[in-house]
Structure 1
Amino acid sequence: MSGPELPPELRGAYDTPQPDPSARRSGVSTGTRVLAIVIAAAVVLAAAGAGLAAGLGLLGGSDDSRGTDAGGVTAPASPAEPEEGATDAPSEGLAPYYSQSIDWADCGDGSGNLCGTLEVPVDYADPSGDSIEVAVLKVPAPADSRVGSLVVNPGGPGAPGTSYAAAGTNVFRPQLMDAYDLVGFDPRGTGSSDPVDCVSDSELDDFLAMDPDPDTDAEAQASVDALEDFFAGCVQNSDSLVGHVTTVETARDMDVLRAALGESTLDYLGASYGTKLGATYAELFPDRVGRFVLDGAVDVALSSRELSLGQAEGFERALTAYVTDCVENASGCFLGDTVDEGLQRIADFLAETDQNPLPTQDGRTLTEGNAFYGIITPLYVSDYWYLLTQGLQSAFQGDGTTLMLLADAYASRNTDGTYADNSAEAIYAINCLDDPASEPVSAIPGEMSDFLEASPTLGQVFAWGMLGCQGVQVTASEEAPEIDGAGAAPILVVGTTRDPATPYEWAQSLADELESGVLLTRDGDGHTAYNSGNDCIDTTIEDYLIDGVVPDDGTTC
């Protein structure tokens, strides 16, 4: 396709705010910032976000000495060899799963990475029943510097972790790659792990393009109908796993993975939704927690409404930072002379696009729903604010192509109309199985004032997202636990002060909720903190993961 192209660093990323412009509870889906990874020639971003710039610098020799913080707390080791007790199963029925080893083989793409599968039960309450294979990928560390395995998750929920690990130096700094085998897995129901399928590619196009801010009763009902059709499709097009893709079950899969890796404790780096997954693991298996970094934290104690309000405020904060940068640093900001004028211009543009969608160079039309995704995508990484500027300037002149490209990147859509993965579908299936909360159409107007207070520019979209999970046809087999991680080793919770998708306040709360939580703050813009250009953050995280040095609670970079 001719016309504007995303820069290589933004192609193939995983990102996920997830306020669905048409009818999902927006706040619950959070992902991992616009990962700067090239996964294929396709443009993908995947409802989960990551954009981590490649890090520089060399580590002066990593070893297996395990450090302590100033208070004398020792972080547990990550052994280079399997430890005794690593394969002990929680129950006799799970013993066959815990005793397995992964048959690693070259991935065959010239990368030197190793691919394999992990067998897990569909239902942990019935381990003798059906099982599925979870796709796993390992980026081996040099043998002379390896200290263990680091399991990583990019968020979403729904983003494939194998692609996250395979991104290698585009996502992780050399320090970590020299010290750890990076191990990514596609969570059950995603990527290559029996992916959930809800709608066809063309139907997904229509679903994502729907009106995020219904103006009439008919438009609101269309959103409800679309949700019901979507969730009916999840059941019709997927197998029984669609009822077993909860965060709790994926956390249990991670413990089976830990055992298969031969590690007595799990070292883990999770971003965005990956922090919820990590916190859930810490609650279920506190004695198996090794060195945990939860970056771009989700407050696991909040209701879906509170999460939606928080994310509305977070995106407003990020959008305000973008407009402020334009007003203060541009000679004649194209949005207006003041921040208020700039924000109003964007709000007006969304309203105009609702009435008059814009043409694009591939023959599609940019709807308000597409425009919303196109606007929020570059907010994940401040380095890509210029893409938002380009997109808005072109759109103001009547061409929606650039914003559509950004919306496509958000949803993992390829230029040929296919989707690179199922992340845009899995996020709904997982979130609505975790928490099927929703509000009826009649309740949304009563929510509007609170959402507009949190986000005058985008609040209406987030309010309508409270329609949530209407039509979901499956229920979770296991209730999500309350989380405090009692008994776990120190867990490093990282927050960024102007994070759009996982507001900083969530990191503060999660660090308080986890009994062993240690808060690390990045003062900056964008979603997640590691490898985003802040050497203090990177060094602190790496010192913790590699050498076990636990920073002081409340450290700010």
Structure 2
Amino acid sequence: MGPRGPDLGCAVPIRRPRRAASLLVVALVAVLGLAGCAPEVVDGTIEPFTSTGGDLVGREPCPASEFECITLTVPADHRAAASPAWEVTFALRPADVEARGVLVTATGGPGSSGIALADRYTSAMDPEITDHYDLVFFDQRGIGRSEPFVCDRALSSFEEVLDASSDAGERDGYAAAAERFAGNCFAEAGVAPSDAPLFATAQAAEDLEVFRRWYGAERLVLYGESYGTQFQQAYAAAHPDRVESLVLDGVVDLQTPLRSFAAESARAYSDVLAATLAGCDAEPVCAEDGPGASAAAYDALAAELRAAPRPYDHPLADGGTEERELTLEELEGAAMASLSSPHARRQLQRALNAAAGGDELPLARLAAATAGADPETGEVAVDPSFSPALFYAVECQDYPTVPDGSTGRAELDRWLDSAAADGVAGVRLDDVYYGDLPCLFWPRGEEPVRPPAAIADPPYPLLLLTADTDPNTPAGNAQRVLERAPTDAALLVLTDGPHVLYGWGYACVDRAVTRLVTTGRLPARPVTTCTDSLAEAYVPLPPASAAGYDDPWETVDLLLAELLGPSFEAWPGTDALDLGCPAGGNAGYRITMAGAVRIALDGCAWTPGAPVDGVATVADGGTGEVTLDVTLPFAELTLSGDGNLGGTFRGERVR
């Protein structure tokens, strides 16, 4: 885990039903920039806004936070001379010492609550920033405290999927279902379909301008991650004279049309999956656990699950088991959500190796975690810090999908029939390509949909951050933005890195961001390359027998990899979590009065004959130091917070 906390492979802790996974991914992805596959260019429009607003509605401490929540009135429609007022909430943390400026962070999505992430993100910032910059996060219109757009019932009932092989009848059925879904979503949200354009990024960016004027800041330092790069570009294009400097991390190229986004991101996901599988074969420890040819094993498992789900016995916390099924949807959902960071790629490698060896539980629990589902019941929880409905509301207003004179049904045929030409037919994880199809049937206003304007040759320093293995927003996006901003701009590329780089402990990245924010200075070279590992160091799977535990340090590594795996990382900590262990016993997760995570092990076994009793503790709500005090039939082990291991192992003192 990085300084920002547990990492499930997403820059934002997105919990979502599997059916929406492709849509939520597509918002973050764009063109890989492969030779011979250059996308057409879409020109955005800077809206002629006449924004007013800025009346203070409320000012109070944000719950359990260092930030103060400030709610302002904004025009619902910044284009109108007279508009109803909406309320948008910003989170403000004054500089610890003396303010030199204001740093505004736009988080990913679209659909995430910036306020919910503010404290965690701030903990990863250099003191030079927190000492001298007022920090601002916000709930974009449509989420959290800001005019929430929510339609969970409509989302849960929209199950239809399509691909290029769908026949005319299936396409007709999808079109009708997508139209019903859109209507039901707006009805449930209590929003008139004619107001759909009010959720566009260009409108939301003007809410930030209202805040800037209210706060009295002459200029803003802007940081955007993933979809947040789209938001910050929209603001910077409309108000270039109000920007001190701009950092775009996991860059969206706003001149890439939506279908090109979808096609090249689908190829990028498949490429990173292939690299992750090949990486296991090339790494001796991973390969020893693996089936010998990881890609072939993945394809064989996918083919098996496409024909029929695989039954398995799911261990329950009460000691019993329940027969469940591993599905193709779970395999592909887990894979798609596990490719955006080295940490998540390692988890995927372990889960796939386990499944290849006949143990479906790790893959099933990884799928549940990445879908935001309870690891025991499988029920998908509603996450108040993320709105899948707002994803649709923003995505479908930011990108034109139905040209004048055409229909959603006609464009559906055009999209599906273009799969082969777009290089998507037959690739793994092609769901990404089809994820935005509901936008073909989403309500629109009276005026044509216009994408946010892209920045070009900005009058402020621009730092672009990307990784060459980012499947969400492939590196070609950042390269194209750099080419359109030839002066006072720099690109930093992290080889084998994740989607979104800042704040995860990469020194070369964090130094560059801190330097730009605090001094306005860019790296000396236009393009800088740093290096990471495609996947974190592999931790072997549990041995088949107790005799396989032959080293105390490796035993501790295994216990922590299992205890602090996907189910722990996805756990919100609001309620108790009790997990059945694969070979008997259970593990109970609780938050202590001191704010630490306490994990009580009661005969918890991953290997027959090797039950574990004792306690593990993770400080700072699950992001801090780890301690361990456990007994096994052959060992008594104590791990201190500073990393020292003591006790006995197979009759000998641990040194």
Q: TM-score if structure 1 supplies the norm length? A: 0.76
Give the conservation status (yes or no) of the 8 Å contact 2:251–2:465: yes
- Do structure 1's residue 197 and structure 2's residue 150 form an aligned pair? yes
Give the conservation status (yes or no) of the 8 Å contact 1:107–1:114: yes
Report the alpha carbon displacement of residue 518 of structure 1 after superposing the two structures with TM: 2.8
CA distance in structure 2 between the aligned counterparts of 1:299 and 1:290, rounded to whole angstroms: 21
CA distance in structure 2 between the aligned counterparts of 1:455 and 1:266, rounded to whole angstroms: 46
User: 1:58: which partner in 2?
Assistant: none
Q: Percent identity?
A: 26
Give the conservation status (yes or no) of the 8 Å contact 2:26–2:436: no
Report the alpha carbon displacement of residue 365 of structure 1 after superposing the two structures with TM: 5.9
Report the alpha carbon displacement of residue 294 of structure 1 after superposing the two structures with TM: 0.6
**1:392-407 superposed matches below 5 A:** 392-393=352-353, 395=355, 397-399=359-361, 401-407=364-370
| CA pair 319-274 structure 1, distance change in 2 beyond 3 A | same
Which of 287, 293, 296 aligns to 1:332? It is: 287
Report the alpha carbon displacement of residue 465 of structure 1 after superposing the two structures with TM: 3.4
CA distance in structure 2 between the aligned counterparts of 1:410 and 1:140, rounded to whole angstroms: 37
User: 2:339: which partner in 1?
Assistant: 379
User: 2:115: which partner in 1?
Assistant: 162
Give the conservation status (yes or no) of the 8 Å contact 1:244–1:476: no
Shifted more, 22-31 versus 368-377: the winner is 22-31
**1:40-189 superposed matches below 5 A:** 94-95=51-52, 97-98=53-54, 100=55, 103-109=58-64, 111-144=65-98, 146-189=99-142
CA distance in structure 1 between the aligned counterparts of 2:279 and 2:171, rounded to whole angstroms: 36
Give the conservation status (yes or no) of the 8 Å contact 2:112–2:139: yes
CA distance in structure 2 between the aligned counterparts of 1:215 and 1:403, rounded to whole angstroms: 29
CA distance in structure 1 between the aligned counterparts of 2:281 and 2:270, rounded to whole angstroms: 16
Which of 474, 497, 505 aligns to 1:503? It is: 474
Deviation string 1:27-78 (CA, Å, 9 cap, x unpaired) is 741189xxxxxxxxxxxxxxxxxxxxxxxxxxxxxxxxxxxxxxxxxxxxxx
User: 2:528: which partner in 1?
Assistant: 555
User: 2:349: which partner in 1?
Assistant: 389
State the AA in 1 paired with 2:62.
C
- Do structure 1's residue 232 and structure 2's residue 169 form an aligned pair? no
Report the alpha carbon displacement of residue 366 of structure 1 after superposing the two structures with TM: 5.4
CA distance in structure 1 between the aligned counterparts of 2:384 and 2:133, rounded to whole angstroms: 28
**1:30-45 superposed matches below 5 A:** 30=28
Bigger helix share: 1
User: 2:6: which partner in 1?
Assistant: 9
CA distance in structure 1 between the aligned counterparts of 2:483 and 2:14, rounded to whole angstroms: 25
Which of 206, 226, 229 aligns to 1:275? It is: 229
Which of 489, 498, 503 aligns to 1:526? It is: 498
CA distance in structure 2 between the aligned counterparts of 1:502 and 1:193, rounded to whole angstroms: 27
CA distance in structure 1 between the aligned counterparts of 2:22 and 2:280, rounded to whole angstroms: 31
Deviation string 1:73-93 (CA, Å, 9 cap, x unpaired) is xxxxxxxxxxxxxxxxx98x6
Give the conservation status (yes or no) of the 8 Å contact 1:316–1:454: no
- SS of the aligned residue for 1:448 comes to coil
- SS of the aligned residue for 2:216 comes to coil
CA distance in structure 1 between the aligned counterparts of 2:429 and 2:303, rounded to whole angstroms: 11
Which of 245, 248, 259 aligns to 2:202? It is: 248
Give the conservation status (yes or no) of the 8 Å contact 1:347–1:458: no
Report the alpha carbon displacement of residue 455 of structure 1 after superposing the two structures with TM: 7.5
Which of 27, 30, 36 aligns to 1:29? It is: 27
- Do structure 1's residue 290 and structure 2's residue 250 form an aligned pair? no
User: 1:314: which partner in 2?
Assistant: 268
Report the alpha carbon displacement of residue 394 of structure 1 after superposing the two structures with TM: 5.3
Deviation string 1:354-411 (CA, Å, 9 cap, x unpaired) is 4434566798865434432221222111122232234434555344631332332399
Report the alpha carbon displacement of residue 442 of structure 1 after superposing the two structures with TM: 3.6
- Do structure 1's residue 474 and structure 2's residue 444 form an aligned pair? yes
Q: TM-score if structure 2 supplies the norm length? A: 0.65
CA distance in structure 2 between the aligned counterparts of 1:226 and 1:350, rounded to whole angstroms: 27
> Rg: which structure is higher?
2
- SS of the aligned residue for 1:493 comes to strand
Give the conservation status (yes or no) of the 8 Å contact 1:490–1:550: yes
CA distance in structure 2 between the aligned counterparts of 1:121 and 1:128, rounded to whole angstroms: 8
Unaligned 5+ segments in structure 1 are 1-6, 33-89
Report the alpha carbon displacement of residue 504 of structure 1 after superposing the two structures with TM: 0.5
Deviation string 1:175-228 (CA, Å, 9 cap, x unpaired) is 43333222111111122211112341xx53454x65565765365555444422
State the AA in 2 paired with 1:382.
P
Shifted more, 540-549 versus 416-425: the winner is 416-425
- SS of the aligned residue for 1:409 comes to coil
| CA pair 222-372 structure 1, distance change in 2 beyond 3 A | farther
Shifted more, 350-359 versus 294-303: the winner is 350-359
Report the alpha carbon displacement of residue 453 of structure 1 after superposing the two structures with TM: 5.8
Which of 260, 266, 286 aligns to 2:220? It is: 266
- Do structure 1's residue 434 and structure 2's residue 398 form an aligned pair? yes
User: 2:516: which partner in 1?
Assistant: 544
Deviation string 1:231-254 (CA, Å, 9 cap, x unpaired) is 112321232454310011111111
State the AA in 2 paired with 1:232.
G
CA distance in structure 1 between the aligned counterparts of 2:90 and 2:270, rounded to whole angstroms: 37
State the AA in 2 paired with 1:503.
P
| CA pair 117-27 structure 1, distance change in 2 beyond 3 A | same
- SS of the aligned residue for 2:466 comes to strand
The count of aligned residue pairs is 482
Bigger strand share: 2
Unaligned 5+ segments in structure 2 are 31-47, 317-321, 402-407, 531-655
Give the conservation status (yes or no) of the 8 Å contact 1:499–1:526: yes
User: 1:345: which partner in 2?
Assistant: 297
Report the alpha carbon displacement of residue 506 of structure 1 after superposing the two structures with TM: 0.6
CA distance in structure 1 between the aligned counterparts of 2:419 and 2:315, rounded to whole angstroms: 35
- SS of the aligned residue for 1:473 comes to coil
Give the conservation status (yes or no) of the 8 Å contact 1:191–1:421: yes
Deviation string 1:135-171 (CA, Å, 9 cap, x unpaired) is 2212333134x32221101111111111221324554
State the AA in 2 paired with 1:403.
L
| CA pair 205-334 structure 1, distance change in 2 beyond 3 A | farther
- SS of the aligned residue for 2:78 comes to coil
CA distance in structure 2 between the aligned counterparts of 1:17 and 1:524, rounded to whole angstroms: 25
Shifted more, 288-297 versus 234-243: the winner is 234-243
- SS of the aligned residue for 1:508 comes to helix
